[in-house]
Amino acid sequence: MSTAVTREMGHFFQFLIQEMKPRGPWLTPFNIISVPVILTGLVILYFRFVYGLGAVTNLSQDFPWGFWLGFDVVTGIALAGGAYVITFVVYVMKVDKYQSIVRVTVLNALLAYIFYAGALLFDLGRPWHAFNPYIGNSFGFSSVMFLICWHFMLYMVAAFVEFSPVIAEWAHWEKARKILKGLTLGTVIFGITLSILHQSGLGALFLMAKPKIHPLWWSEFIPILFFVSSIYAGLAMIIFEGTISHRVFKNLIDPDSHHAFDDIIFGLAKGAAITMFVYYFMKALLFVHDKQWGLLGDGWGYWYLLEVLGFVLVPGFMFAFGFRNRSLNIVKLASILALLGIVLNRLNVSIISFRWYADVHYYPSWQEIVVTLMIIFTEIWIFRWIVTRMPVFKPAH
């Protein structure tokens, strides 16, 4: 190794050590809440891996998929759908209006996939067998699980490549940045294709569970419903997260971007409204086609109407109203309702309506909820570390 290379590596490690130092005050409300939760979650995971799933979860042979899969994976991946939508709009459709939010949106998706897909290791009874689906062992190469696992892994690689110019810019690797930027368009197209496949693939997982899922939530078109709903889920998440980021990290964002973000929100609201109406029309069409009127007369029917009307149709009209009347507050409230609707839908499919006829139902234990909060808080910590050091809020150049 030459002296110049050794000197360059030494400078980089010094730079990295300097960047690792904490910035800002420690005694913040978020730190005070998140640190105990993260430490408690680590203790719970110790008992989970030493004594098994039964020590900390309410999972059973009748309910093998619980909160860690239903919320962390099935719901979390849907909420990360904004990245493939925005990259498609910016890099394929060439709409530069949304260029300023591409980097932070891709970062959110990358972290979501790493943490939520990684949470599968907590849910597997034998986590050391996690690579079995990748090699087709006991599943087969035509199984949905085989396809989803490969889609997840390849999309994480694609998202990392999409975000890597930011890392190169932060590390002052100009040559690497130019090379990585040249890979962006091809990687984006590859990532969009993977996203369409695995968003719908998550729904395809439940096709084989027809006898176990309430008829109001099961459909042979559930893969398409999962894909369409992931579009407005991602847009609503961008509005929600972007609103918070523009307040918390306002010192990192130039004033012009602050002003432009309002117009971006209205554009996202328009897209969310259109997609939600498409999704609602599909749900209504399937409902009428399957002649499910008789299923609305009990508690499950009322619960279904609450989801479809209260958390799809209502926020859809709110997005449309907010866009037409330029009301930020209405749009932001609609994004929260839309996100709650996605959470409710995914939990209804994967947990709540699963074996609805059983005498004993599954409820997540407090330990499962704490571990999920640990994952979310840890993701936020890493997101905060990255955005306060790397040029995430700056448009690509």
Task: Report yes or no: 316 and 271 within 8 Å, Cβ to Cβ.
Answer: no
The one-letter code for the residue type at 50 is V
Whole-number CA gyration radius for the chain: 22
Q: What b/e readout covers 15-38, taking b as 16+ CB neighbours within 10 angstroms?
A: eeeeeeeeeeeeeeeeeeebeebb
pLDDT given at position 149: 84
CA distances from 133 to 127, 141, 200, 352 (A): 12, 8, 18, 26
How many whole angstroms separate alpha carbon 78 and alpha carbon 70?
A: 11
Task: Report yes or no: 381 and 34 within 8 Å, Cβ to Cβ.
Answer: yes
Phi/psi for 354 (5° steps) reads: -75, 125
How many whole angstroms separate alpha carbon 339 and alpha carbon 342?
A: 5
Task: Report yes or no: 202 and 74 within 8 Å, Cβ to Cβ.
Answer: yes
The one-letter code for the residue type at 40 is T
pLDDT given at position 19: 62
3 state SS of 72: helix
**Taking the C-alpha atoms of 345, 349, 350 and 352 in order, what is their torsion angle to the nearest 10 degrees?**
80
pLDDT given at position 230: 96
pLDDT given at position 26: 77
Among 244, 190, 239, 254, residue whose Cα is nearest residue 383: 244
Domains of the chain: 32-387 (1.20.1630.10)
How many whole angstroms separate alpha carbon 219 and alpha carbon 223?
A: 9
pLDDT given at position 16: 64
Among 217, 213, 199, residue whose Cα is nearest residue 109: 199
Q: Which residues pair with 33 in a beta bridge?
A: none
Structure tokens at 230: 């992931």
Half-sphere exposure of 285 (CA within 13 A, CB side): 10
pTM of the model: 0.92
Structure tokens at 161: 């490549």
Among 125, 166, 134, 164, residue whose Cα is nearest residue 152: 134
3 state SS of 213: strand
3 state SS of 135: helix
Structure tokens at 181: 């930027």
pLDDT given at position 12: 60
pLDDT given at position 352: 94
How many whole angstroms separate alpha carbon 273 and alpha carbon 317?
A: 7
pLDDT given at position 137: 72
pLDDT given at position 355: 92
Q: Write out the DSSP string of 274-306.
A: HHHHHHHHHHHHHHHHTT-GGGGGSHHHHHHHI
Instruction: Classify residue 385 by its DSSP letter.
Output: H
Q: Which residues pair with 213 in a beta bridge?
A: 354
- What parts of the chain have a pLDDT lower than 50? none
How many whole angstroms separate alpha carbon 353 and alpha carbon 212?
A: 8
How many whole angstroms separate alpha carbon 3 and alpha carbon 223?
A: 56
Among 160, 158, 165, 167, residue whose Cα is nearest residue 180: 165
How many whole angstroms separate alpha carbon 345 and alpha carbon 206?
A: 13
Structure tokens at 123: 């849910």
Instruction: Classify residue 250 by its DSSP letter.
Output: G
Residue 92 CA to chain centroid, in angstroms? 22
Task: Report yes or no: 271 and 314 within 8 Å, Cβ to Cβ.
Answer: no
pLDDT given at position 393: 87
Structure tokens at 23: 């910035």
